[in-house]
Structure formats: C-alpha cells, structure tokens
C-alpha cells in the first residue's frame, strides 16, 4: 500500500501544516485527485494523490504540522474494513515527536478547515514571507530561504543514539540550540530559540505531551512568562528563598535582574463586545518573516514621483484589443516591471543578496510580484528570468501567477529564487508605502496609486505651462548594509526616466 508523505514544497522548506483533508478514511481516491491542502512558510498548496485507491488511514490530522517526508496517510487497493482496513498506524509517525503543534495556545481544537489563502509579497512574502514573506511586500517571505538550523550544544546533546525523550518515543535528531536539554523540538522552534538565545527548559509547552510550539516561543519573545524554577537554596545569612526563571542562576539578593531583550507588552484580553480571530498559519508565518526582516536589514526609503502620461497614452490605445487577445486587462504594473528589469541592468547591486560579509550580485532577474490573498495573507510568486521577457510576456506571466496564487495552484518553483520584489498597493489609491524587504533580497519596490495631478510642462516656445497628467509614486525600500542612498536613488531616477520616456508602443 503506497504511503502519502509530506512533499518538499521549496528547497528550504522543512515542514508543513495540514490545513484540510479533501477525503476521509474509506473514501475512494483517483490518481492526481486533490487529497489535502498543506501550508508552509513559503506557500499554501493543494497536493494530489500519487495513485488511485482508497484512503485507509490518516496519520496527521488537520491543524497538525509534520516534517518533509513524514508519513501522512495510507492509500490501499481495497476499501478498508470496519477497523480502518489497512496497516496499523505507526505510533512514532502518527504523532511526530518534533512536529510542531499549529494550534493557538488558548484553543485545543485544530485550526479551521477554511484556511485563508496566501498572497505574494511580504512577505513578502512572505515569504512572507514568506520570511521571509512572508514575506512581503514585506515578505517571507518570495521570501528568502530558511536559515540553517543551529547545532545542539555539546553539553546538552543526548548521550547516545538510543536516547529517548520523556514520552518514550525515539528521537532521530538532537535537541535544538539554546538549551534544549534533550527536548524534542521542531525546526522552526529550534531556530527561534537559538535566534533569541532562549533556554528551552524555561519555556512552558502547550502542545501535545507538553511539547513546545511556535506560539509558546513567540509568547516568551514578546514578553510572556517562562515557567518558574525551583526555589533557590537559602543563602548563608538566612535570606528568604527567591523564585527565579530556570535560565537565571540564583543570585545574591542585591544582584540586578537580567534585562530582557524585548520590553514586555501588557496582556490584552477581549471584552464582551470584541471578536476573537485566531491567527491563521499564514498570518503567523508572515509575522515571523516581517519581524525577522526588520531585525536583519537596515531599512531605508527613497521615493520619486513619476509622470505616467506616456504609459497611459499607449495603454488607453490598446486596452480593448489587449483584453481580447490576452483575456485580462493591461495595468501599469507590467510597464513598471519591464522598466525595473532594464534599470537593474545599469544598477545590478539592487538585484542582490547579503552573504557572509559580502554582497552576492545576481546576474539574472527573478522578479517577485506580491499578491494579496483576499486580505488573509500575502505570497510572492516569481517571474523567473524576467530580464529575458518583454512587456507582453511579463504581463501574461504576472496575471497567470496571481491567478494561480489565489487558487492555491502554485508549485515550489513558482515561489522560490526571487532576486527583487515589487509590491503593488496602488490599486487602492495609496499615496506612499514603505514596504518591508523580502529576505534575503536587498530591495523592494512599492508602486502606489496613480492620480490626475497638475504638472509643469514645457511648451514649444520654451515657456512653461500647467497640464493635468497621471502621476504616481514609486517607493524603494533598500538595505543600507548593501548600498548607500546615492546608489539606490540613482537606480530610482533611472527607473523614473525609463517609465516616462520609453516608446512603449513598440513594446506592444
């Protein structure tokens, strides 16, 4: 009987959360029929069945998280009998020791079936996200890749390969950094604990069997309370016992307490007239990617006003024919995307990533386009090799990626490898947006609303007059570690020049 395993949905993805099973145990399944939906820090995706048969077992329930390659379900050739009909579920697989519990802290139920869709940007994003953004437009995320997992500290590593966690199940990997002390932690939890220099022993786990979840770690980072340690032994002078978090050694009475890296936030509790909306998986991932991006990059903003009269003249002339030919309307975005590609050719360090004390300049342009998913999240699908495509091809691919993003039809390749991101809130008439960089990129461009405004124009006789033109803002957020303001401003000036002066008619 074939096993259904967690797919690899991106080169840096290590785990996924089951958001919805489309079939129940005993249901007939056709080959390539959608079997379940999965959410990762990169993308929400529908996963088809690799073979036809009957769903005899479901080992990972909705709302649960499992590592890539983990066994999720079993497809059998014949319908299961009353007892579930297939192989017995493997205990260690049914409840992955290090699968992260995706449930909210205050609710024991899994997340709702109607997992919101994700959009490209923050996030992207991303991711973020997608990381990185999420990522994005600020994001995870077209978000950058996941950082390598920290190695366990030698003094805290398990004593041998046969070591088992407290619940008796075998552990195939060492505990995470930051003082895991042999606890089984998921990759995301280990990374967060290591990044914030926390002690896993001091974190109260609310997952199954007391397992530490991502929400538990975030609560501590945001100023939550760690579990108390045993009272310190009385000092020689008979001082009273003092409660202290386990990560803090018993100090003399006069010693100053260790300062927290983040100021604690007051707890907010809903009132009778408030509505409580639990954060979805994509919302959590986007938040992580955005915060990590701001902690990583020295965000700086440069802005220019752009006169779109040349673009508008061509767009108006061809919009009806274009819609008939392509099946979608021609917006300002493809013109800007085409101009970005050409401006990058002259200013390549905008199309780069920060490495280990070095700037990695990409000699190709994989253009991320942030997509909104019905106000529930962001995702950044990528137009690969955008520098080889002209305006019509860019418009076609942007429209296709946005449609597939909203329909949860994106694959791993569609959301990976981005080198520069555009987020486009201008459809809502925005004046100026400061986007968050989609890690590990070094810049992101926001295209804001285009409105009719009076502008000064030079008349044929050399004098000046006033005319009404379509004008909008282009805002570039860049990483000041990678480039200075002069370079970023020169790139933006070149982009403005291309948009305003190019003969766009010949592109179409």
Please name which of 187, 189, 180 lies closest in space to residue 213, comparing C-alpha atoms: 189
Instruction: For residue 475, give the H/E element and its range.
Output: strand 464-479
Taking only Cα atoms into account, the Rg of the chain, rounded to an integer number of angstroms, comes to: 26
* Alpha carbons 353 and 359: distance in angstroms, whole number: 6
Give the C-alpha distances (Å, rounded to integers) separating 208 from 93, 97, 204, 227, 328: 14, 9, 12, 17, 48
Tell me the three-class secondary structure of 139-170, residue by residue: CECCCCCCCCCCCCCHHHCCCCCCCCCCCCCC
The pairing of beta strand 65-67 with beta strand 15-21: antiparallel
Are 488 and 351 spatial neighbours (Cβ–Cβ below 8 Å)? no
**Burial zone of 343 (CB within 10 Å; 0-12 exposed, 13-18 middle, 19+ buried):** buried
* Alpha carbons 186 and 203: distance in angstroms, whole number: 14
Are 70 and 76 spatial neighbours (Cβ–Cβ below 8 Å)? no
Residue 463 is given by DSSP the state: -
Please name which of 135, 128, 148 lies closest in space to residue 188, comparing C-alpha atoms: 148
Interior/surface letters 15-43, b for 16+ CB within 10 angstroms, e for the rest: bbbbbbbbbebeeebeeeebbbbbbbbbb
E strands present in 289-402:
299-307, 352-354, 359-361, 367-369, 371-372, 378-379, 382-383
Segment 213-217 long-range contacts (CB within 8 Å, at least 24 positions apart): 213/100, 213/101, 213/102, 213/103, 213/105, 213/189, 214/100, 214/102, 214/186, 214/188, 214/189, 214/284, 214/288, 215/103, 215/104, 215/105, 215/284, 216/105, 216/189, 217/189, 217/192, 217/193
Q: Which two tokens stand for residue 101?
A: 């519990």
> What residues act catalytically?
480, 484
E strands present in 169-319:
299-307
* Alpha carbons 421 and 168: distance in angstroms, whole number: 47
**Burial zone of 248 (CB within 10 Å; 0-12 exposed, 13-18 middle, 19+ buried):** middle
């Amino acid at each position: 009987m074939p096993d259904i395993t967690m797919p690899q949905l991106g080169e840096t993805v290590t785990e996924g959360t089951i958001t919805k099973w489309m079939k129940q145990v005993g249901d007939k399944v056709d080959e390539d029929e959608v079997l379940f939906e999965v959410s990762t820090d990169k993308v929400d995706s529908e996963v088809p069945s690799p073979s036809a048969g009957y769903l005899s077992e479901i080992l990972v329930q909705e709302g649960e998280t499992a590592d890539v390659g983990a066994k999720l379900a079993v497809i059998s050739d014949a319908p299961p009998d009353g007892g579930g009909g297939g192989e017995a579920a493997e205990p260690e697989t049914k409840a992955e020791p290090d699968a992260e519990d995706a449930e909210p802290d205050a609710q024991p139920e899994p997340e709702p079936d109607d997992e919101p869709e994700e959009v490209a940007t923050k996030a992207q994003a991303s991711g973020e996200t997608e990381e990185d953004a999420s990522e994005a437009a600020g994001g995870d995320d077209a978000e950058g890749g996941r950082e390598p997992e920290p190695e366990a500290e030698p003094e805290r590593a398990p004593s041998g390969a046969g070591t088992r966690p407290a619940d008796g199940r075998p552990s195939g990997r060492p505990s995470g950094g930051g003082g895991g002390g042999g606890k089984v932690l998921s990759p995301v939890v280990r990374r967060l604990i290591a990044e914030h220099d926390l002690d896993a022993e001091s974190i109260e786990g609310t997952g199954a069997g007391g397992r530490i979840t991502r929400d538990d770690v975030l609560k501590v980072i945001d100023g939550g309370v760690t579990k108390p340690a045993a009272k310190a032994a009385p000092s020689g002078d008979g001082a009273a016992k003092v409660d202290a978090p386990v990560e803090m050694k018993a100090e003399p009475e006069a010693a100053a307490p260790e300062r927290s890296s983040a100021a604690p936030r007051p707890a907010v509790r809903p009132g009778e007239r408030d509505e409580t909306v639990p954060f979805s998986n994509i919302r959590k991932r986007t938040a992580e990617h955005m915060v990590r991006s701001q902690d990583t990059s020295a965000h700086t903003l440069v802005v220019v006003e752009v006169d779109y009269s040349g673009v508008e003249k061509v767009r108006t002339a061809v919009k009806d024919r274009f819609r008939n030919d392509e099946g979608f309307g021609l917006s300002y975005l493809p013109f800007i995307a085409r101009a970005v590609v050409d401006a990058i050719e002259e200013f390549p360090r905008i199309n780069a990533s920060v490495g280990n004390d070095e700037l990695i300049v990409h000699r190709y342009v994989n253009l991320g386009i942030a997509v909104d998913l019905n106000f529930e999240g962001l995702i950044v699908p990528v137009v690969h090799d955008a520098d080889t495509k002209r305006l019509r091809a860019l418009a076609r691919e942007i429209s296709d990626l946005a449609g597939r993003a909203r329909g949860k039809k994106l694959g791993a390749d569609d959301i990976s490898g981005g080198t520069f991101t555009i987020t486009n809130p201008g459809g809502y008439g925005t004046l100026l947006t400061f986007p968050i960089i989609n890690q590990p990129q070094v810049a992101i461009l926001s295209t804001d609303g285009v409105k009719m405004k009076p502008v000064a124009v030079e008349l044929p006789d050399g004098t000046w007059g006033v005319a009404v033109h379509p004008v909008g803002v282009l805002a570039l957020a860049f990483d000041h570690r990678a480039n200075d303001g002069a370079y970023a401003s020169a790139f933006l000036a070149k982009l403005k020049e291309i948009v305003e002066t190019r003969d766009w008619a010949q592109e179409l």
